[in-house]
Structure 1
Amino acid sequence: METIKANAAFLCNYEVMQILQQLKDNTQKKHKRESSLATVTYETIHYLQDSDCKNQSAQSIHKFLEAMKRFKLTKTEKLMMVNTPPRTELEIQLIVQESEERLTDEEVQSIIAIANEYLPVTNIT
């Protein structure tokens, strides 16, 4: 695998998991080099399946991002919210740079409500 354009696009964890699952399904050969890739692919998929992206879908992410358009957030901040949906005010402060100046208390509560609606909580068993 080769990176052609670094930073051409950002992928959320859900998209990475989908790509790796397709790669895993398409991998038929078992050369030494490919077995290393298979191990990394397996470990990464296993990690991502235990994260919040497990319960996400392309549609729920799209709806979340549509609802977030009214806030003045960067692409990176939105990506971080998709990967780790904020459930508290503190988490928003950690994700959004200068959140106290950029967001009102009502907006913070609204972001949390939107995240809870479109990006469900992972049930850890």
Structure 2
Amino acid sequence: MEVVNHNAGMLSNYEVYTLLQEAQAKIKGPNRRLENLATIAYETNKYLTDTSCTLQTPQIIKDFLTALHPFKLTRAEKLQLLNLRPTTAVEIHSIIEECEERLSEDQVDEVMKIVGDVLPGVAVEGEREGDECKEEEP
């Protein structure tokens, strides 16, 4: 997937991840002017590496957006669904503005199903934290 104009609008995490991969491959040798940019790119890439965007492809994104078409969501809402990969109705309601008026409960369930079926996922951060909080048995 090629980004035509980097300044034209919002990018998905997948697009940012891909751009960073390409940019890091092009940077050769130390350059003082690029030192801060390299740090930001490294930290962003490190964060994105642990998200599901690394498993996405242009075809998956196209299929996802096509599946969401009947719901008449805004570009920003679709982008947030793509980037955040919500798994609960509460998360969907926090992403979609005026969700109660625009979508029925069945439609919210359908959006959750599309997210789960079309977008590949990785272990959710909350699940990892939950594992750490379990009390040890004596």
Matched-pair contact (CA < 8 Å) for 1:13–1:53: yes
Identify the residue that residue 44 of structure 2 maps to in structure 1.
44
Normalization by structure 1: what TM-score?
A: 0.89
Identify the residue that residue 18 of structure 2 maps to in structure 1.
18
Identity of aligned residues (%): 39
- Letter aligned with residue 27 of structure 1: I
Unmatched segments (≥5 aa) in structure 1? none
Which is further off, 43-52 or 15-24? 43-52
> Taking structure 1 as reference, are residues 37 and 52 closer, same or farther at Cα in structure 2, changes over 3 Å only?
same
Distance 1:63 1:94 in 2: 23
SS of match in other structure, 2:60: helix
SS of match in other structure, 1:97: coil
> Taking structure 1 as reference, are residues 32 and 56 closer, same or farther at Cα in structure 2, changes over 3 Å only?
same
Deviation at 1:106, TM superposition (A): 1.1
SS of match in other structure, 1:101: helix
Aligned residues between the structures? 121
Deviation at 1:98, TM superposition (A): 0.7
Which is further off, 74-83 or 44-53? 44-53
4+ residue stretches of structure 1 with deviation over 4 A?
Answer: none
Larger radius of gyration: 2
Identify the residue that residue 33 of structure 1 maps to in structure 2.
33
Deviation at 1:85, TM superposition (A): 1.1
Identify the residue that residue 123 of structure 1 maps to in structure 2.
123
Unmatched segments (≥5 aa) in structure 2? 129-138
Identify the residue that residue 82 of structure 1 maps to in structure 2.
82
The one of the two structures with greater contact order (alpha-carbon pairs below 8 A, sep at least 6) is 1
Normalization by structure 2: what TM-score?
A: 0.81
Matched-pair contact (CA < 8 Å) for 1:12–1:79: yes
Cα root mean square deviation, aligned: 1.7
1:60-75 equivalences under 5 Å are: 60-75=60-75
